[in-house]
Amino acid sequence: MVVRIVKMTFKTENITSFRQIFEKNKESIASFDGCTFLELYQDKIKPEIFFTYSYWENENYLEQYRHSDFFKSVWSQTKVLFATPPEAWSLEKL
């Protein structure tokens, strides 16, 4: 299993827009082939910082998602809202 963690920092004025994008697309992301878990977290002290945690059956499913037209569409809407570049990790769940 692959755990994907993405840290995103948004411009304060873009927080609401990001949350709307996530809400609109979270069910589609969670039902993508190979995705078994998806959650969004917001930092309690710095509310402009968010993390997504997703579980993938294997690296191939994650890569299929990352190269899909759906991901490219959602990411193009999201990346313009960032205050700093996102950080991402792919981890093996032990």
Q: CA-CA distance, 59 to 3, in Å (whole number)?
A: 9
Q: Residue 93 has what pLDDT?
A: 85
Which of 46-50, 56-60, 90-94 comes out lowest in average pLDDT? 90-94
Residue 69 corresponds to which tokens in the numbers above?
């037209």
- Of all residues in the chain, the percent with pLDDT exceeding 90 is 98
Asked: is 2-92 a CATH 3.60.15.10 domain? The reply is no
Q: Residue 62 has what pLDDT?
A: 97
Stated pTM of the model: 0.94
Q: Residue 94 has what pLDDT?
A: 87
DSSP string, 12-42: GGGHHHHHHHHHHHHHHHHTSTTEEEEEEEE
